Amino acid sequence: MDKTHVTVQIGGQDFRLAAEESEVYVRKIAKYVNEKIEEVQRAYPNLSTGNCVLLAALNLSDELHKLREDYDALDSRISELREMPRQSAPVKRPFESGKALPTK
């Protein structure tokens, strides 16, 4: 697969990136990172750009790890549900009694 080459600005610096993903995707990710940096800059306006980038990286890492934990928990739950025995009796659904509803 050909690599996509994209120049993006992150934290006020230009970066030339090579990726297997599309240019649209790379720009979307760069925008997300910049938004996280800007959140830190708004919260701590006296902090240097470099320190804002580091705090944003920590926030993104925290977000990633929490999402991975959620994913693993969901994956485990799905595995548990797949291993459960199937019910042999059909589940009765509302309004499926076979009787017609009375009309006025």
CB 52 within 8 A of CB 44: yes
Which pLDDT tens digits describe the chain residue by residue (104 residues)?
689 999 999 999 999 999 999 999 999 999 999 999 999 999 999 999 999 999 999 999 999 999 999 999 999 999 999 888 876 666 667 676 656 556 65
What's the first-to-final CA gap in the chain, in angstroms? 68
Q: What is the pLDDT of residue 28?
A: 98
pLDDT given at position 2: 85
* Contact by Cβ (8 Å): 25, 33: no
Q: What's the confidence (pLDDT) of residue 103? A: 63
Residue 37 neighbours by CB distance under 10 Å: 22
- Locate the domains of the chain by residue range: 4-82
**pLDDT tens for each residue of 2-27:** 899 999 999 999 999 999 999 999 99
Which pLDDT belongs to residue 101? Answer: 57
- As a whole number of angstroms, the distance between CA 41 and CA 52 comes to 6
